[in-house]
């Protein structure tokens, strides 16, 4: 295989066609026309909301094989609805210096100003660039390069839907990525053979936490208010839980605390009850990390202590 960028498609808006309401139909070969790439593959043709960890593990294995065979980097195309989660999935497992870049489109090919071709071209340039090495998984849309652990979809439909609270890691300028910070990444987790069911529950006003008592799962992420706060009822339910509970902030930016507040349901109270705080990870990324950690039998406290920090 040549050393150019390998590209795989999983589906999503970028692949959708139709005379009215659209659905995914196009494959990788349809999307990369005119781009100088290496190996291409259509691994799935489904919307982003229907992706599973099984599909993502298959995509990971394909990407791993391409780099092992000499690819300079890999681009994974998919729907934007879950792009922030799959980017972090790859970031947790990716062991290579060569980057894996995820991208998609906010407008399908039949709309004026469809952004798919530009996003894909930018993603390929980022994956091929020497200064992208050692950065793990990256998300590229709208000529912005985002680090997987920070990025989130912050708008349902706008072209600049993806944002990172510290700002993008870089920009694509004249076809070349320009980064604002040196490369940094965490050691890769072991690839699990399977991943367990881990629901994400949002804490809300007048929430008694009884849903935790109904669950038969291997772990739960609670999207808590503020810096990691839940109701007294939810706090008692966390004490009764027969599975690991990770607490993240539902706000979309900022970290959970560890010792500022002391009331029932506060962050310090939940830690005493055995909950693990997600730190800077948002609830959706915390769920990805918890599923992978349990699946690979990594110590949950250690994994979140390492990956929930800034560096």
* 1 pLDDT higher than 50: no
**Co-location of 296 and 172 in the same domain:** no
Residue 227 CB contacts under 8 Å (≥ 6 apart), including other chains: 249, 254, 255, 256, 257, 260, 261, 267
pLDDT at 14: 98
Domain-located, residue 225: yes
Residue 235 sits in the same domain as residue 162: no
Residues 17 and 143 in one domain: yes
Query: Taking the CA of residue 124 as centre, how many other CA atoms within 13 Å lie in the half-sphere pointing to its CB?
Result: 22
pLDDT tens across 233-265, in order?
A: 999 999 999 999 999 999 999 999 999 999 999
* The two three-digit tokens of residue 231, written as one number: 């109701």
User: Would you say residue 229 has pLDDT above 80?
Assistant: yes
Domain that holds residue 205: 200-307
> What pLDDT sits at residue 57?
98
Q: In this model, does residue 224 exceed pLDDT 90?
A: yes
Residue 270 contacts residue 247 (beta carbons within 8 Å): yes
Q: What proportion of the chain, given as a percentage, has pLDDT over 70?
A: 99
Average pLDDT over residues 27-35: 96
If asked whether residues 173 and 206 sit together in one domain, one would say no
Residue 69 lies in a domain: yes
The runs of H, that is alpha helices, within the chain are 28-31, 53-68, 83-93, 116-128, 211-214, 232-240, 267-272, 283-295, 300-307
Question: Both 145 and 233 in a single domain?
Answer: no
Residues 98 and 139 in one domain: yes
- 104 and 134, same domain (yes or no): yes
The domain that holds 73 is classified in CATH as 3.40.50.1170
- Is the confidence at residue 310, as pLDDT, over 90? no
* Residue 194 domain-assigned (yes or no): no
Total domain count, the chain:
2
- Answer whether residue 90 is part of any domain: yes
Mean pLDDT of 182-211: 95
- What's the pLDDT at 309? 87
145 located within any domain: yes
pLDDT of residue 112: 96
Residue 191, in any domain of the structure: no
Query: What's the longest Cα–Cα distance across the chain?
Result: 60
Residue 155 and residue 285 in one domain: no
If asked whether residues 142 and 218 sit together in one domain, one would say no
Q: What is the pTM of this model?
A: 0.96
- State the pLDDT at residue 2: 60
pLDDT tens digits along 108-150:
999 999 999 999 999 999 999 999 999 999 999 999 999 999 9
| Domain identity same for 19 and 124 | yes
The answer to whether residue 255 is catalytic is no
Q: What is the pLDDT of residue 232?
A: 97
Does 223 lie in the same domain as 160?
no
Residue 159 in any domain: the answer is yes
Domain of residue 267, CATH code: 3.40.50.40
Point out the catalytic residue in the list 13, 82, 86, 225. 13
Report yes or no on 188 lying in a domain: no
* Domain end (from 145, 179, 213): 179
Residues 84 and 231 in one domain: no
Average pLDDT over all residues of the chain: 96
Model confidence pLDDT, tens digit, residues 38-61: 999 999 999 999 999 999 999 999
* 236 or 19: which leads in pLDDT: 236
């Amino acid at each position: 295989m040549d050393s150019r960028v390998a590209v795989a498609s999983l589906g999503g808006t970028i692949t959708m066609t139709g005379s009215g309401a659209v659905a995914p139909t196009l494959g990788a070969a349809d999307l990369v026309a005119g781009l100088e790439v290496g190996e291409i593959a259509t691994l799935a043709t489904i919307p982003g909301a229907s992706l599973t960890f099984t599909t993502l593990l298959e995509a990971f294995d394909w990407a791993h094989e391409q780099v092992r065979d000499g690819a300079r980097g890999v681009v994974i195309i998919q729907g934007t609805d879950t792009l922030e989660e799959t980017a972090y999935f790859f970031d947790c497992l990716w062991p290579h210096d060569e980057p894996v870049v995820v991208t998609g489109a906010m407008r399908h090919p039949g709309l004026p100003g469809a952004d798919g071709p530009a996003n894909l071209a930018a993603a390929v340039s980022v994956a091929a660039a020497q200064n992208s090495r050692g950065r793990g998984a990256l998300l590229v849309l709208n000529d912005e390069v985002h680090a997987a652990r920070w990025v989130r979809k912050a708008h349902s439909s706008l072209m600049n839907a993806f944002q990172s609270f510290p700002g993008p890691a870089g920009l694509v300028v004249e076809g070349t990525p320009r980064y604002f910070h040196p490369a940094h990444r965490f050691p890769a987790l072991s690839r699990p053979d399977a991943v367990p069911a881990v629901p994400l529950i949002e804490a809300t006003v007048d929430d008694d936490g009884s849903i935790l008592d109904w669950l038969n799962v291997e772990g739960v992420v609670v999207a808590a208010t503020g810096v990691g706060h839940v109701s007294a009822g939810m706090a008692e339910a966390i004490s009764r839980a027969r599975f690991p509970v990770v607490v993240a902030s539902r706000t979309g930016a900022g970290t959970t605390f560890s010792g500022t507040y002391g009331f029932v349901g506060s962050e310090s109270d939940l830690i005493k009850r055995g909950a693990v705080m997600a730190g800077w990870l948002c609830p959706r990324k915390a769920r990805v990390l918890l599923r992978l950690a349990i699946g690979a039998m990594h110590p949950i406290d250690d994994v979140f202590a390492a990956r929930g920090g800034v560096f």
